[in-house]
Amino acid sequence: MSPSLQPVLDRIADEIKGLPGRGRPADYIPALASADPRRFGMAVAELDGTVYGVGDWQEPFSTQSITKVFTLALDLSLEGELLWEHVGREPSGNPFNSLVQLEYEHGIPRNPFINAGALVVTDRLQSLTGDAAGVLLDFLRAESGNDRLTFDEHVADSETEHGDRNAALAHFMASYGNIANAVPELLAQYFRQCSVEASCADLALAAGFLARHGIRADGSTLLTRSQAKQVNAVMLTCGTYDAAGDFAHRVGLPGKSGVGGGIIAVVPGRCTLCVWSPGLDQRGNSVAGVAALDRFTTLTGLSVF
């Protein structure tokens, strides 16, 4: 890739300005409800750490479920295949906070990116490290090169106050023996994890190990090539809630969205991307973000297909 990528981002930003219907911010988390759906940023990071950006690409935003990718990778790096005995790898076909499947699947969540699955991954990382959210934050700071990254305590408190559904998921899985830590401790870790603030540039850089087949920014190995493939595969099939099929059809890249309006995407062996715009569609994905990634793959020809 070359500096000619910048005009591609500029063109996308110009096109997004005319996008009708930008969606609505996530109002079920009050701390996110006031975000301006007209905001837009996009960044692309090459394998060597070179970053291109446009719009609000350096503006911090609430990462929310995007962090599930990083906790999954950190847990896989520590316990490997054992994780998959506790969480599946299949699309759920249901909303991200659904309780429906857990009962007839005996407390084993369908995948690591629905809330139930992310709770299991955080629980296991907490057991392995004693501070799942802290380990995540340290990792994001190291990979992004931004030691100012931190938690937004206001967002964490807001999620805690409105976290009854997540508490129900955790207690239900605990009743099947699939949660090891005390549920209040787990929820505190999970809500802090989701409250990390980071920019498009930060997240594009932090996800670079997935484009480098498991290799961190400093050249050390986080995941084996096979494990990196696993994470990318689950992102492609499960990373955008119950719209993963449509996202794969339109964008053609492994991706993970968050209800803060961010989406990260990976072109293995080439680059990583992050786009942010707070207006969401009915499935919880950024309207402008999906459109921008669609245009990126169309204009550049970069996809996994």
Q: Annotate 167-218 with three-state secondary structure.
A: HHHHHHHHHCCCCCCCHHHHHHHHHHHHCEEECHHHHHHHCHHHHCCCECCC
Tokens of 62: 């609430």
Task: Enumerate the β-bridge partners of residue 41.
Answer: 55, 276
Instruction: Name the burial class of residue 70, with classes exposed (0-12), middle (13-18) and buried (19+) by CB atoms within 10 angstroms of its CB.
Output: buried
Contact residues for 96 (Cβ-Cβ < 8 A; gap 6+): 65, 113, 114, 115, 241, 242, 284
Q: What CA–CA distance (Å, rounded) separates 98 from 36?
A: 28
Active site residues: 65, 68, 190, 241, 259
Handedness of CA 198, 200, 205, 209 (dihedral sign): positive
Q: What CA–CA distance (Å, rounded) separates 196 from 151?
A: 4
